[in-house]
C-alpha cells in the first residue's frame, strides 16, 4: 500500500507542478477523462485477459507541437473490482493537426488482497487523435522485468 501511495503522491506533485508552471508562463493546459480497455500481448497468451480502464490526463504545452502529459489510469476487471493496477505515467508527445504521438514511462502498481506491489518502470508508447472535446488514444506498455507481457490498450476521452 505504501508503494501505491508513493506513486500517487509523486504523480499528484507532477501534475500540480506542471500545471503551476504552465499557468505561471501562460501555457495552455488541457485535461481529459478517459475510459477504455487493455489486454496482454505475448507469444503464448495474447488477448487472454481483458481489463477496463479509467483515468485522467493533463496535457501541458511546452511549445509549438510539444506536450508533456502526466496521467493516472486504473486497470480493473468489472467482475472482480477488488484488485487491479494503478498506472501513473508521464509521456512527452508531439502534436500536430489533431494527431499526437509520444513516448514515456509508466510505473504500474498491482493492488489486491489488501496488498500492493510496484511492478517497476515500463516504457510507454502512445498514438492518438484529439479535437476540441474528444480524445482517442491507442497505447502500448512494453515488457518490463516483473511483467512478462506487453499490454496494449485503447481509450476514448472527454477533453475539458
Q: Using one digit for the tens of pLDDT, what is the confidence trace for 101-146?
A: 999 999 988 888 888 888 788 899 999 999 989 999 999 998 765 5
* Whole-Å CA distances, 8 to 41, 43, 64, 132: 27, 32, 29, 28
* Cα→Cα distances 57→13, 27, 82, Å: 14, 16, 24
Select from 89, 94, 88 the least CA-distant residue to 116.
Answer: 88
Please state the domain extents for the chain. Answer: 2-159
Structural Rg of the chain based on CA atoms: 15
Angle at 17 between CA 12 and CA 22, to 5 degrees: 130
Looking at CATH, the fold of the domain delimited by 2-159 is given as Porin (2.40.160)
Share of the chain above pLDDT 70, in %: 76
Indicate the pTM of the whole model: 0.75
Average pLDDT, the chain: 82
Amino acid at each position: 500500500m505504501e508503494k501505491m501511495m508513493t506513486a500517487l503522491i509523486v504523480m499528484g506533485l507532477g501534475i500540480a507542478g506542471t500545471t503551476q508552471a504552465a499557468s505561471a508562463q501562460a501555457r495552455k493546459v488541457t485535461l481529459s477523462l478517459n475510459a477504455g480497455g487493455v489486454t496482454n500481448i505475448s507469444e503464448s497468451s495474447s488477448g487472454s485477459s481483458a481489463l477496463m480502464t479509467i483515468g485522467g490526463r493533463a496535457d501541458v504545452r511546452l511549445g509549438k507541437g510539444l506536450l508533456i502529459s502526466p496521467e493516472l489510469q486504473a486497470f480493473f476487471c468489472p467482475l472482480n473490482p477488488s484488485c487491479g493496477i494503478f498506472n501513473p505515467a508521464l509521456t512527452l508527445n508531439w502534436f500536430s493537426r489533431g494527431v499526437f504521438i509520444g513516448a514515456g514511462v509508466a510505473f504500474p502498481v498491482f493492488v489486491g488482497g489488501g496488498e500492493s506491489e510496484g511492478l517497476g518502470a515500463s516504457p510507454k508508447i502512445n498514438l492518438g487523435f484529439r479535437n476540441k472535446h474528444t480524445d482517442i488514444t491507442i497505447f502500448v506498455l512494453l515488457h518490463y522485468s516483473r511483467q512478462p507481457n506487453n499490454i496494449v490498450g485503447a481509450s476514448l476521452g472527454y477533453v475539458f
